[in-house]
Structure 1
């Protein structure tokens, strides 16, 4: 009994010390954190604010203790492979047939599609009024404003959502905003129906990522350019048939990386898309920006007009196609309209792109 008790005590002490030892020695350092968020840094102790230090250190240690990533790696595989559930349901929703979706920690996107976070008519009117003021300000400078909404994957592929997260049959937040903007002259490009029609031929979104794939991007760019061309006939016409589309094996997306499942799950379908026309573009500059990890990028193309494109992460893949249809293009990752950038670039066309789940941010554009 004494030997057994001592073994238990020693084992318990070793288990208590393992996280600290691992943090110092780095035995499990090859397990990387993939949660797609900024982890807290070690706080500094400032006397006499000891209590605040203890609180901050507790938060820091919970995110950075030794072996945490290795433990989550094991837990994630057990939760997904054995129970068929998401290890982080608030971040990633596990759907049907290998589909993954963003969870509620991203602007309550799941609740939005379930109709639990409706957009009121008054809020939609405020957004519309704000965008009209922006449109008028830009028009005085000879700039045409276009607003493009990139749909959520839940909107285009609702059939693969879990049954308990079925979409609401009530008008969506985007429907309400679209009705408000329809009373104005603002070019508002809603490509939901276009993408739904296109998915009959090819997949338009990644199954393991938050974004549209190369084909979905091409369809979105075609819809945007064909709307711009109604006002700017000199912009070359774009057709999906102008490109060769070849299917290829895909990589794992950001959603599976968040769950550390990227080694086990990859995209079933991806595409290599190349133009068949003479239109071409080249990147001429990449400009770093303070406080933003993504640089602004400048392109020279064989089309006409000057494009200023302000968008989110959905705009990254759009750089593959759009610059060829303009003489000059400047892409900025931002959700704000910077007057100084507009004056410096002197665009003829300004496109604001935003993903569906963040349309409320249009009120501050």
Structure 2
């Protein structure tokens, strides 16, 4: 009697092929996947291979990206609790891992199709504003991992690739003639004057937000609308907690974050009047981000911002202080209500998604050209 019956030989062949996939995959270029935490085996790994070599193998097997991505989706499908969503920096600060923010910042994840989608949207918005005599500005608040790259763990910094998505957007906007504010140099140059990002929160702080606002106003051709930090803030105070501490499930850490304290008149109180009929209710099935539409009663341009949490609260005081009327709506992954622009007729339109949301990931409104990556 043969050792394996004929029909079982095929199953044996399939089984061996599946077991060989991780090895075969080593012959192919690495595919995008979760961050590698071990880049090389420990010294003299052969003496205690199970302890010294296994961590490297777990980070270097073939087809690692697709396998771990599939595993992550499976865990979400069965309702498993989320894994570690933050990583510790070298100074004890925390960095978000959601939305592949780390992989994006170091250039390990580059979505050419997402950059193309953003370029299509930017061209559309620029043409719309040019037709009405207004100004369009695109900017991207950087991820904390981009702004504070030097505080990332060494094993993450060692995996940096260039260009990353931010680089590609900057080059594309220059090529297309879109007014674009690259905030990375501004953050780098200003970091010496004080902290610009929270250590235990995903966001920048009020000083970084004000510097970004000033740069955008300058790019829009209105440098007189910039606000000096000395006029805006009376000092700093301790800021306890942070969303990354809650995500990580850890207690407060020291040193605590720094909060900049707004002072009048920039910091209010602002006497505003709601504008009705401008912003409708959020589309069914989407989150209500608390859209804003109001008049300030003083002179200034009409300014509309399409952004997220990096601008909604952080720019509320500068906008109310400098603009005659303001609208803020969420970008909703590029699927925001275009009709708001027509109903509000802004003088300045700003599209400002955070770096990790630049790709318009769910946007199907405009067909993509052939060859989108």
Normalised by the shorter chain, which TM-score bucket? 0.5 to 0.7
Provide, for residues 53-111 of structure 1, a one-character-per-residue CA deviation record: whole Å limited to 9, x for no partner. Answer: xx9xx946x66xxxxxxxxxxxxxxxxxxxxxxx943x1111122210011xx221111
Q: What's the offset of the Cα at 1:271? A: 1.8
Listed as ranges, the matches of 1:198-209 within 5 Å are: 198-209=190-201
Q: Does 1:251 align with 2:251?
A: no
Bigger proportion of residues as strand:
1
Look up the match of 2:68.
none
SS in 2 for 1:107: helix
Partners in 2 of 1:189 and 1:140 — Cα distance? 22
Structure 2 unaligned blocks of 5 or more: 1-73, 366-373
Contact 1:226/1:238 (8 A) holds in 2:
no
Cα shift at 1:337? 4.0
Equivalent residue number for residue 48 of structure 1: none
> Which residue among 279, 292, 295 is the counterpart of 1:297?
292
In structure 2, distance between residues paired with 1:264 and 1:224: 34
Query: Do structure 1's residue 338 and structure 2's residue 337 form an aligned pair?
Result: yes
| Residues 262 and 351 of structure 1, relative CA distance in 2, 3 Å threshold | farther
Q: Secondary structure at the match of 1:292?
A: coil
261 and 339 in structure 1: CA distance in 2 versus 1, 3 angstrom threshold: same
Of the three residues 99, 102, 116, the one matched with 2:96 is 102
- The verdict on how the C-alpha distance between 1:334 and 1:130 changes in structure 2, with shifts beyond 3 A counting, is closer
Q: 5+ unaligned residues in a row in structure 1: which ranges?
A: 1-54, 64-86
Task: Decide which of 304, 308, 311 is 1:312's aligned counterpart.
Answer: 308
* TM-score between both structures, scaled by the size of structure 1: 0.68
Deviation at 1:266, TM superposition (A): 7.0
Quote the offset at 1:227 in angstroms: 1.7
Q: In structure 2, what is the Cα distance between the partners aligned to 1:278 and 1:310?
A: 22
Q: What does 1:145-160 correspond to in 2, within 5 Å?
A: 145-160=136-151
Contact kept? 1:225, 1:238, Cα under 8 Å: no
For residues 281-316 of structure 1, the C-alpha deviation after alignment (integer angstroms, 9 at most, x for no partner) is: 444349764532321113433341211111111112
* Corresponding position of 1:326: 323
- Looking at structure 2, the residues matched to 283 and 315 of structure 1 have their Cα atoms a distance apart, in angstroms, of 18
Q: How does 1:158-177 map to 2 (within 5 A)?
A: 158-166=149-157, 168-177=160-169
